[in-house]
Every structure is written in C-alpha cells, then in structure tokens.
Structure 1
Amino acid sequence: MNLMTAARITPPADHPRPGLRERKKIKTREGIRAAMYALVEEQGYDATTIEQIAERAEVSPSTVFRYFPTKEDIVLTDEWDPVMLAELRMRPADEPWPVSIRHVVREAIAVGIDEDLAVSRLRARLTAEVPAVRSRMMESMSVTGRMLCGVIAERTGGDPQSLEVRVYAMALVGALMETTLYWADHDHEDDLKELAERALDVLERGLPAAPAAPGGTTG
C-alpha cells in the first residue's frame, strides 16, 4: 500500500529481535534507500542511476539489485506489509473489522511522519510524478491485496478467494494509494491522517451526499 510506503509501523514489543544477519540486511536496505533519497533530492529521479546509488551507499550495483529488482522498488519497497498484517492479526477477535483497519492505518501514519516527514513526502511525490514508479506501484498493489485477503478471511470467516473479499481488499489498497497521491498532488498541505480517515469513511459509508443545488434539487 503506498500510504504504507509513507509510513512503517514499529514491530510489537514482544516480537523477537532480528538476528545479526537480518539486522545487517536491514541496515543495507536502509542505506540503499537513504542514498537514493539523497541523490533524488540533489539531481532528480531520472538522473539518478543504480551505479550512483551503489557508490553513495558503499555497496556494489549487484548488491543494490539483490535487494531491489528495479530502481522503482527502492522507492516503494519497505517492511510495511508483513508488519501491517501481523498488527491486524493482533487486534481483538471481537473488534469490528473497520475499527481494526483504522487503528493500524492511524498508527502507521503517525510512526512514518514522526520518523521522517521529508522522506514520506518525497516517496509520495515520486509515486505521483514518476510514471515508472506509479506503474510499479500498481503491480505491487495486487500482491498486497492478495496478502490482505487472507487476514480479512480469517477475521470475517469468509473465503479469501471469494469475489467479496478480493473486492474489499483491493478497494482498501486502492483507497490508501489514492490518499497518498492526493496528498502529493496537493503539495502535502492537508493532514495525511485526516485524508486517510476520509478515505476509510468512503469505504465504510459510500460517497457523501452531493450538496443541494439551487432551488432545493441535487441534480
């Protein structure tokens, strides 16, 4: 979820601490991302090459590709999805599904903005402005949606392959992506948390009623 690329939840306190090897991998991934963000700010996305990113991160180009298959993946890939799913599974079993979703989304945005608002804005802007990044995001949405289907089915007792579950999962993923794009399109002037709440309101309640036209009609 691209809103998810603007935010990462901190793993639960009781989550096992990653081993040394995994911590090194995380450090390498974060170093590659940081190198790319800095280069993009300096010279723009199109002018930034994998070779430059590798040099700035002090790794080889092959290492960059081992962690991120494409340059667009450096912008989009983070540790959000598995953590989000874990957080959803930790919510009380009797909690209404929309409440669980709102809790996780709120926490994700708060953590992401607190960690680095500038990076959150940059990632959202690149998704909105760079066709290759936006295209790659559309591809990744399908993967995220399928993962979400499993959690939705567990909580609702539905079939993860049913039309209803698949439609809801992709609607949620799409709504959060559009929230990110809207935020970027409007120069990040709006509060991202409020935008996400509005998007979730639409999913739960449908479109708000149109304002009444002059004369008391709505047509």
Structure 2
Amino acid sequence: MKIIAHRGSNLKAPENTVSAVKQAWLDGADGVELDVRLTSDKKVVAFHDENTKRLTGAEYEINKYSFDFLRNLDCILQKDSENISDKIPAIGEIVDSTKDGKELFLEIKCGKEIINPLREKLADIFPFDKKKLSIISFLPEVLINIWSSFHEINIYKLIDLDRNPNMNYLNAVNEAVKNGITGLGISGDFYRCRQMVILAKSAGLKTNVWTVDNTEIAAKYHEIGLDYLTTNNPALMRKTLTMGGN
C-alpha cells in the first residue's frame, strides 16, 4: 500500500505548495495529491478553494485573476506560534519538485476548460514516467475528456460514500470500467469503503481511499490490499507501515 500526502504534508507546510510537496518526500510519502485550478490567464495552479480567503486571508477568486497577481499572495499555515508561508505554485513548479519514482495525483477542481492548458503544459515539462501521474475528479465529463487527451496516464473517479448512501457499488464499478477509468478514489467509513475496494479490485481497478489519519484503520486497509492511502499525516502512516514490517 502506497502512502499519498493529501495536499502535500499539509500539517507541516501550507497545503498545495512546493514546500508541502518537498516535506512529503521528507515524511516518506510515495506520492502527493494536489488540487488544480485555472487562472484568468489560463495558467494551471495548485489550489483547493475557489477563492483565496481561507489560505491567504485575502479574498480573490482564482479564475478571475492572473497568475502574476495571485503569486503575490502568501499561503499561510499557523503552526504552534509560528506562521509558515509559501506562494501559490504553477503546475510546473509542482512537477519540478516531484522526485523521480514518486507519484503525482492531480485533482481537477474546476471544469473541462482546464484540460487543454493542462495537457499542453504537462507535455512540455513532465520529466518522468507518465504512469506516475494520475488525474482525479468527481466529474465524469472531465474524466472522459481527460481520457481522450491523456491515454498514457491514470484517471480516477472520486466517490464520497457518505454523500451517496444509496449508491449501488457494483453499478459504480461497472460504469467506471465501461468509461475507461483506471481506478476509484473512495471516501467514507471503513466498512463501506472496504466493500467498494474489494469490488473495484476484482474488476481490475486501482483503489485509493481518502483521507485516513487513523493508524488502526490504515492497517486494516493494508490488510485488504488497498493500493493507495491518502492521508494528512504521511510521516505517521509511513512509521506505522514500517513498524508493521511492510
């Protein structure tokens, strides 16, 4: 089971920043999961929210401002009595900070308008095996268009089981296979996620569960053969797996 740092090591550095990515490698993560959006001048940046208020204290909508403008803002993590800051990164900076052999999961937080700018940029800068790149999204129309543009990469459909209590798991798995989806990213309580993980793996899909910070739950996922565990605390998860002899 591989450990994926949720928005980078966001407990130690501002989420979705270069410093969070670099910290994830120090914490023993196998990969990082980051959110991507499009600025007004069609630059792909790593940022979760629609606007910058929560992370920077100043409220600007990402898609209404240029990258150069947004670059002047400081993303801040308050840790103990210290403020740790970094800048909103362009996708190229994220790729440059991703070590060889590590994996990069990019969650598309906007619509399919990001696909062409993302494809063009990654074609120029992606320095390692594209099988180490995964695009993830809740939106089927984004994933279908991504698949037509990036045949060589992995694509994951995100499913929040808490928000879909009546979901037919088998139908969801079969639909993913039909649409050429590589894997499922699943969130929810362990027992519901376990059922979907087992079904997905039986259909040949990769499986990723987010966001798990409990070591006992992580150990249970490892036992059932989960492929990827996304966590806010990659250092703790890595220590847990190492102590378990894995």
Q: TM-score, normalised by structure 2?
A: 0.23
Higher RCO, 1 vs 2 (CA within 8 Å, ≥6 residues apart)? 1
Q: Which has the higher strand share?
A: 2
Instruction: Give the greater-gyration-radius structure (CA).
Output: 1
* Higher percent of residues as helix: 1
- State TM-score, norm by structure 1: 0.25
